[in-house]
Structure 1
Amino acid sequence: MAKSKIAEGAIYQPGASSIEGLPTTLQLFHTHPPIMPRPHWHAQVEVNYVIAGSVHYRMGDHDLRLNAGQMCLFWGGQPHQMDESSDDSLYAGAHLPLVYFFRMRLPTAVSNMLMSGATMLTSQTDNADDENFVRWFRYATSGDTLKAQNAVEELLLRVERMFLEPYSIVSSATEGKRMEDDEVTAPSIGVVRMCDYIAANFLEDIDAADIARAANLHPKYAMNLFRKSTGMTLIKYLTLLRLSRAQAMLMNCTVNILQVAMESGFGSVSAFNKAFRQVAGMSPSDFRRDVRVTN
């Protein structure tokens, strides 16, 4: 792998107003992609379309290079790092909270593969994508509600179309595997309702029974349905939303670890430390110290 250009280009600086701190908000972007000094994670599915230049990602179990005209989809809950970005690179895309993701009509196998760490990659793009991604970003940030809604609806349809044409699955287990035909299914209304409730209440003291009740489902059935649809448990997703917010607070706030834990929805510092270490591979204190050293 080529040497990282961290010292040469723009550096990604996440914060409480960025994607980590707003894990239930759909956000669109159009920018020169800055490299990341360390892996980060967030509780959304990410769509990246490279308009010019090239970028390189370190994913959980694989590396990925995207060149101009390629588009990818991956689950941001896996720690990932963009460690190379060419001087002329330009990309656009979005961060999709699961509630949007599960409203789309996608092949049944896609969500499980994404949540397991695979990246979906396609080169089936054209000049219309260059224009549309720019317009969607402009509409989404215009302050006009109708334009923003139009941008989101068109973007979701474009993601659906990605799976109507040939695409590749990139992971350590399925490197370069191509997919052309797969069963397409309507999203489960139960999963959508659960995602809606979690998004609105993830900072509160809720559990799997509360989430199931909000979706009018039996707790055991709700847990099985969510795992089947996403490849993870209800509690893991709830925890990831909380950790995403906590990560942003640790990077940009001076509040102590106890306050970060409480304001991120964790009931205790010990529970927060354990959950954070499982994702980041280090304690919240060490993570904050590492951020301060490298910034």
Structure 2
Amino acid sequence: MSMTARKLGGLFPVDAEQEAGTEIQPHVYAYYFKQWRDFRMPEPHRHESTEIMFVMSGTCRVEVLDSAVELKKGEFIVIGFNVPHRLIVENSCRMLNLEFGFRPGNLGTLSFRQLRAGEPELEDLLAEPAPYLVLRDPDDVYHSLKSLVLELDAHGTQGSGLSHVLFAQLLIRIARLREEQAADQGRPEDRYVRQSLDFLSQNYDRDIRVTDVASAVNLHPGYLQRIFKSATGRTLIDALTDIRMEKAKMLLKQTNIPVTEIYDYVGIRSRQYFHAVFKKHTNRTPLEYRQSEGVQLWGY
């Protein structure tokens, strides 16, 4: 059964024989940036591929089957293969579109089957039965999508090793975002807690205050501290300290950065304070930790 023979159903055209174990690889059919102004597509159309429509600026409406989806900056829709849809733009909308599918083939060192097996969110996404999916991007998906498009510009839609990796990264980011937003629908507070932890993980090397985290997630500092403590059992500062200590342990164990400099890599400005906090967390000084664990440089 070929992809072109597939009927409407689900987001991705993954054939029965591929599902049975044949190695597959992604294939991009088309991609483009487009600034739309006062545009109304006359009739719905469809593709024998999956399409991502990402709104970079402005607003638009996508009519899919019997639904009308309003999209604004930072939102995107994934439309399944053979799903009829049309675009309506009343003012202006700049979009990045990608049309893709899968075909038999091997990614070389990267097995798409193994990738799916190791990423349950990706497996769930590929099995999604809905004809379309709407998500709001925290910036991760756009950067993956843009990196893929730039690689395709350089090497063509036949794909390079890097484009295959970037495509897999894009799907994994979409899959994880889908899971996160589905979970957030149950308790809105959980979204703010997750966003706060993401902010701490990305900025632990800086001098961070509670007000910085609250500003990043658009909440009052006092309210954020209450919901964070309720959800995690820790304060924001406790969580930041835990992240810093885990990073310090990794640097002590897996790099040859001098022990006397580690504190500066994890956002702590006092060597003495770092030593005191590290010993409290591990019952060892940084030097004792390195000596007991040994430096295990990658590749050795």
TM-score tier by shorter-chain length is: 0.3 to 0.5
Relative CO higher for 1 or 2, CA cutoff 8 Å, sep ≥ 6? 1
Larger radius of gyration: 2
Give the number of the structure whose residues are more often helix, by fraction.
2
